[in-house]
Amino acid sequence: MSGNADSPVVITRHAALGYEGGVVLGNLEFEIPAGARVGVLGPNGGGKTTLFRALQGEIEPLAGKLEVNASCATVQQTDRSRLDYPVSALDVATMGTLAGLPWWKRPGRAEKRKAREALAMVGLEEHARDHFGSLSGGQRQRVLIARTLTSGANLLLMDEPFTGLDAPSEALLESLIDRLAGDGKTIMIATHEVEQASRWDLVLCLNKTQISFGRPAEALSRPVLEATYGGHIVEIPGQPELGVLPAHHHHHDGEPEEANR
Ligand SMILES: Nc1ncnc2c1ncn2[C@@H]1O[C@H](COP(=O)(O)OP(=O)(O)OP(=O)(O)O)[C@@H](O)[C@H]1O
Ligand SMILES: [Mg+2]
For residue 160, give the ligand 1 atom closest to its CA: 27
Asked if residue 37 has pLDDT above 90, the reply is: yes
- What are the CA-CA distances from residue 207 to residues 28, 42, 46 (Å)? 11, 6, 4
Domain locations in the chain? 1-71+154-261, 84-151
CA of 45 to the centre of ligand 2 (A): 7
For residue 51, give the ligand 1 atom closest to its CA: 18
Ligand 1 neighbour 142 (Cβ under 6 A) = no
Helix (H, G, I), strand (E, B) or coil at 141: helix
Burial status of residue 98 (CB atoms within 10 A of its CB: 0-12, 13-18, 19 or more) = middle
CATH topology of domain 1-71+154-261: Rossmann fold (3.40.50)
For the segment 104-126, the average pLDDT, to the nearest whole number, is 94
Q: What is the average pLDDT score of the chain?
A: 87
Confidence label for 87 from pLDDT (cuts 50, 70 and 90)? very high
**Structure confidence at residue 82 (pLDDT):** 75
For residue 260, give the ligand 1 atom closest to its CA: 26
Q: What is the 3-state secondary structure (H, E, C) of 55-83?
A: HCCCCCCCEEEEEECCCEEEECCCCCCCC
CA of 169 to the centre of ligand 1 (A): 27
**Structure confidence at residue 5 (pLDDT):** 60
Give the number of the ligand closest to the Cα of residue 43: 1
Confidence label for 165 from pLDDT (cuts 50, 70 and 90)? confident
**Structure confidence at residue 255 (pLDDT):** 38
Residues with CB under 5 A from ligand 2 (ion): 48-49, 77
Helix (H, G, I), strand (E, B) or coil at 249: coil
Asked if residue 252 has pLDDT above 80, the reply is: no
φ, ψ at 175 (rounded to 5°) = -75, -30
Confidence label for 84 from pLDDT (cuts 50, 70 and 90)? confident
Give the number of the ligand closest to the Cα of residue 159: 2
CB 41 within 8 A of CB 54: no
**Structure confidence at residue 79 (pLDDT):** 63
Which range scores top for mean pLDDT: 25-39, 100-114, 132-146, 152-166? 25-39
Rg (CA), the chain: 19
pLDDT tens across 196-243, in order? 999 999 999 999 999 999 999 999 988 899 999 987 655 545 444 334
Ligand 1 neighbour 23 (Cβ under 6 A) = no
